[in-house]
Copies of this chain bind each other. A is one copy, B any other.
Amino acid sequence: MELLKKRILEDGKCFPGGILKVDSFINHQIDPVLMKSIAVEFVKRFSGNRFNKVMTIEASGIAPAIMVGYLMELPVVFAKKKQPKTMENMISTTIHSFTKDREYQVCISKDFLTQEDRILFIDDFLANGNAANGMIDLIDQAGAELVGMGFIIEKAFQKGGDLLRSRYVHVESLAIIDSLDGCKIQIRE
């Protein structure tokens, strides 16, 4: 997706340790018009798949997921990082975050993830794949079916993409970062 690659090269910032900051247009400040274009690209990439619901995880996944849901006129459900007092009937899983160096629980209500659901999962980043694996665990627990996983940015030098593809998950990443070595952003052509 050329528009996205161009934007990452222009406005993305690279820091030591393989950190790519895109917080001026994706995950802190958001460009909603770019998000719509990103969602259009996801719709194209998954046009051969049949799904009835978009799933994501709070907070940075919500913007792209809601745009895909809007374009497709499908409900969006997001996994929550804290269990609300008022949530019953929920399933949960544990995710290790490398970025934040801690484990956290995420949960989702069984009311909104059921064995009737064919799920397209959308998130901003695919790196080590921990969040993605947690989502697959929730989908399995619910007896739902995972149709595909779409990511705005994949860090191909981390293991998440390989792990998911080795499990035959249909993964689509709109910008694939091959390297951030020397704090230079190298995006796959």
Q: Which residues of A contact B (CB under 8 A)?
A: 15, 19, 21, 23-25, 28-33, 35-36, 58-59, 62-63, 66-67, 69-70, 73-78, 80-82, 84-87, 99-100, 108-109, 111-112
Contact = CB atoms under 8 A, between A and B. Distances in A.
Contact of A75 (B30, B74, B77): B30
B77 A30 contact: yes
B66 A109 contact: no
B66 A30 contact: yes
A155 to B, nearest CB: 14
A152 to B, nearest CB: 14
A70 B21 contact: no
A111 B70 CA distance: 29
